[in-house]
Amino acid sequence: AQSVTQLGSHVSVSEGALVLLRCNYSSSVPPYLFWYVQYPNQGLQLLLKYTTGATLVKGINGFEAEFKKSETSFHLTKPSAHMSDAAEYFCAVLVAGGSYIPTFGRGTSLIVHP
Amino acid sequence: GAGVSQSPRYKVAKRGQDVALRCDPISGHVSLFWYQQALGQGPEFLTYFQNEAQLDKSGLPSDRFFAERPEGSVSTLKIQRTQQEDSAVYLCASSLEYRGPPGELFFGEGSRLTVL
């Protein structure tokens, strides 16, 4: 079985501050991991993904995430928050060899203060 | 179109009514997913199609929910005798891949269903 836990339903940062959104997964086999972003009244869009290879993954809009197997984590970071980063962020996990159906976390709302 | 299109964007139904939600995926995308997103929650899996075949419907919450994709492109999610707990945003996503390392899911903007 696969699952993902996102710690913190809301994260509030000041503009220019570091963004850290946490995601931990549970999977009995090596997972594929994703971060999606959802802006108000829009569909989810892919920020970045980890499948194989390099554990530090860079995505769009300056975001990156690191796959840490020992910690079963895939936290999302950005060095400097921008007002336009305010959105809902979802972590998702998918297990190879199965039905390839992603399981999503509950989401973290990122609030950016001027 | 360029992206996944869902209609209607908003639907208000009286309890007991039947509703049908449409998803038009990106042309050529093999895989199609339906998810349900309750307020303040993440997307919850409902069902998955590979072309016209419904390979997994384990997430459908009851037999009032039915989905089809008869020609392997447009899909319809039907909810019979709607209940208040069915109120949610229904998301459709499509993907080009159906095996091997997974790629990106492309999501529509969703259909927001409110059951009164």
Which tens digit of pLDDT belongs to each residue from A46-67? 999 998 888 899 999 999 999 9
Nearest CB among A52, A100, A106 relative to B41 is that of A106
Note whether A41 contacts B: Cβ–Cβ < 8 A. yes
* Interchain pair A101, B33: CB under 8 A: yes
Residue ranges with strand state E in chain A: 3-5, 10-14, 19-21, 24-26, 31-38, 45-50, 56-58, 64-68, 73-78, 87-95, 103-104, 108-113
Count CB pairs under 8 A between chains A and B. 62
Interval A69-83: pLDDT, tens: 999 999 999 999 999
Interval B18-55: pLDDT, tens: 999 999 999 999 999 999 999 989 999 999 999 999 99
* Interchain pair B41, A46: CB under 8 A: no
DSSP bridge partners of B33: B48, B93
**How open is the CA angle A102-B106-A50, to the nearest 5 degrees?**
50
Across residues A14-31, what is the average pLDDT? 92
Residue B1, pLDDT > 90, answer: no
* Interchain pair A99, B56: CB under 8 A: yes
Query: What is the number of residues in chain B?
Result: 116
The rounded mean pLDDT for chain A is 92
Confidence band, pLDDT 50/70/90 cuts, at residue B97: confident
Note whether B1 contacts A: Cβ–Cβ < 8 A. no
**pLDDT at residue A94, as a whole number:** 86
**pLDDT at residue A31, as a whole number:** 87
Amino acid at A107: G
Give A-chain residues touching B56 at CB under 8 angstroms.
Answer: 99, 101
Nearest CB among B42, B98, B104 relative to A106 is that of B42
Amino acid at A27: S
**pLDDT at residue A21, as a whole number:** 97
Residue A24, pLDDT > 70, answer: yes
| Per-residue exposure over B48-83, b if at least 16 CB sit within 10 Å of its own CB, e if not | bbbeeebebeebbeeeebebebeeebebebebeebe
Residue A98, pLDDT > 80, answer: no
Residue B100, pLDDT > 60, answer: no
- At B99, phi and psi to the nearest 5? -160, 165
The DSSP 8-state label assigned to residue A84 in this structure reads: G
What is the SS3 assignment for B57?
A: coil
Residue A17, pLDDT > 80, answer: yes
**pLDDT at residue A86, as a whole number:** 96
Confidence band, pLDDT 50/70/90 cuts, at residue A97: low
Note whether A101 contacts B: Cβ–Cβ < 8 A. yes
* Interchain pair A107, B42: CB under 8 A: yes
Q: Give the residue from A48, A46, A79 showing the smallest Cα distance to A66.
A: A48
Query: Around B81, how many Cα atoms within 13 Å sit in the side-chain half-sphere?
Result: 3
Q: Which residue of A has its CA nearest to B36?
A: A104
How many angstroms separate the CA atoms of A9 and B12, rounded?
Answer: 28
Confidence band, pLDDT 50/70/90 cuts, at residue B78: very high
User: Pick the residue with more confidence: B96 or A44?
Assistant: A44
Note whether B93 contacts A: Cβ–Cβ < 8 A. yes
Across residues B69-94, what is the average pLDDT? 96
Dihedral (Cα; A66, A69, A72, A75), 10-degree rounding: 0
The rounded mean pLDDT for chain B is 93
Q: Determine which helix (DSSP H) or strand (DSSP E) holds B47, and give its type and residue range.
A: strand B44-50
